[in-house]
Every structure is written in C-alpha cells, then in structure tokens.
C-alpha cells in the first residue's frame, strides 16, 4: 500500500498491484525543497546498474520523469545523465543532482 503524492497531497492508497511511487528526487518549484516525486509510476528505468540483480536501475518513474530513449525503454534523470545523450529537454532535470 504505497503512499502517493497526488494533487490533493500525500495519499495512502489501499490496494494491491499498484505501481510504485516515482523515486525521482527533484526540487519542487512550489516549495524550493528537494523532495521525492511520489507520483504513481508508469515506467521502470532501463538504465544499466550492475549493483542490482536485474542489471538495470529499475527506478520507478512517473510520466513526468521517464525519458523515453527507445521503444519501451525509459531512463530516470540519473541514468539519462550517465547515458550522455545531449537532450534538448534536459533542462527539465537541471534541478536534480
């Protein structure tokens, strides 16, 4: 039963088979503080991470934070940076790190 950040605030959602909350930390424009996104995730990061058993980063990502790099392949902001793609929209992520 994950906690999600929805428009109404932090919500404890009951149920099973729910997507994990988005794990991206970023600076909220409204508060100026760095916080976890916590929006319901739509994707998992496909970036390489050998520290994980799966071999991929697997960070849960919401629509806002998933960057599509190919068919059914998405990267979190951290992996996108190490991916080294010059991305015209990378300005969206400059507040992270």
The encoded tokens of residue 32 equal 């100026």
44 part of the interface to Zn ion, by CB under 5 A: no
Least Cβ distance, residue 17 to Zn ion (angstroms): 20
- Choose which of 4, 5, 22, 44 interacts with Zn ion (CB under 5 A): 22
Window of 8-16, 28-36, 39-47, 82-90 that interacts with Zn ion by CB under 5 A:
39-47
Q: Report the alpha-carbon angle 16-42-90, nearest 5.
A: 150
Distance CA(5)–CA(31), nearest Å, equals: 14
- Choose which of 40, 45, 67, 93 interacts with Zn ion (CB under 5 A): 45
* Residue span 64-83 as binding mask against Zn ion, x where in contact by CB under 5 A, dash where not: xx----------x--x----
Distance CA(75)–CA(46), nearest Å, equals: 6
Number of other residues whose CB lies within 10 A of the CB of residue 11: 14
Which residues contact residue 88 at a Cβ distance below 8 angstroms, ignoring those fewer than 6 apart?
Answer: none
Residues that bind Zn ion (CB under 5 A): 22, 24, 37, 39, 45, 47, 57, 59, 62, 64-65, 76, 79
């Amino acid at each position: 039963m994950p906690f999600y950040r929805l428009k109404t605030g932090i919500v404890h959602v009951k149920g099973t088979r729910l997507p994990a909350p988005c794990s991206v930390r970023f600076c909220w424009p409204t508060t100026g503080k760095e916080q976890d996104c916590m929006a319901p995730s739509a994707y998992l990061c496909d970036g390489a991470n050998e520290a994980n058993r799966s071999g991929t980063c697997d960070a849960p990502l919401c629509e806002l934070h998933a960057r599509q790099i190919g068919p059914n392949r998405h990267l979190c902001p951290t992996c996108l940076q190490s991916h080294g793609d010059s991305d015209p929209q990378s300005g969206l992520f400059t507040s992270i790190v």
